[in-house]
Amino acid sequence: MTMLQTDSQGHLRHFLNFDDLSYQHLISIMDTAESFVGITKRSIKKVPLLRGHTIVNLFFEPSTRTLTTFELAAKRLSADVLNFHPKTSATKKGESLLDTLHTIEAMQCDMFIVRHADSGAAHFIAQHTHPDVSVINAGDGSHAHPTQAMLDMFTIRHHKTDFTKLSVAIVGDVLHSRVARSQIHALNLLQTGEIRVIAPKTLLSNHIKTLGVEVYHNLEQGIKDVDVIIMLRLQKERMQGALLPSENEYFQLYGLTANKLKLAKPDVIVMHPGPINRGVEMDSIVADGPHSVILQQVSYGIAIRMAVMSMILTPPQSQ
Which parts of this chain interact with ligand CP (CB under 6 A)? 63-66, 139, 148, 273-275
Indicate the residue among 157 and 272 with the shorter CB distance to ligand CP. 272
Distance of alpha carbon 71 from alpha carbon 144, whole angstroms: 20
Indicate the residue among 100 and 148 with the shorter CB distance to ligand CP. 148
The number of C-alpha atoms within 13 Å of 2 and in the hemisphere containing its C-beta is: 0
Indicate the residue among 24 and 64 with the shorter CB distance to ligand CP. 64
Indicate the residue among 139 and 172 with the shorter CB distance to ligand CP. 139
Nearest distance in Å: CB 145, ligand CP? 6
Counting every residue, how long is the chain?
A: 319
Distance of alpha carbon 21 from alpha carbon 15, whole angstroms: 9
Nearest distance in Å: CB 119, ligand CP? 15
Nearest distance in Å: CB 93, ligand CP? 27
Indicate the residue among 151 and 313 with the shorter CB distance to ligand CP. 151
SS3 263: coil
Query: Letter for the amino acid at 239?
Result: M
Nearest distance in Å: CB 173, ligand CP? 13
Nearest distance in Å: CB 192, ligand CP? 20
Q: Edge-to-edge strand order for the sheet containing 54-59?
A: 80-84, 54-59, 111-116, 134-140
Q: Which helix (H) or strand (E) holds 241?
A: none
CA distances to 130, 154, 229, 231 from 166, in Å: 42, 14, 11, 17
The number of C-alpha atoms within 13 Å of 298 and in the hemisphere containing its C-beta is: 12
Closest CA relative to residue 76, chosen from 108, 39, 109, 105? 39
Indicate the residue among 49 and 305 with the shorter CB distance to ligand CP. 305
Nearest distance in Å: CB 309, ligand CP? 16
Q: Which residues does 246 contact at the CB level (< 8 Å), separation at least 6?
A: none
Indicate the residue among 180 and 219 with the shorter CB distance to ligand CP. 180
Nearest distance in Å: CB 274, ligand CP? 5
Phi, psi of 284 (to 5 degrees): -60, -35
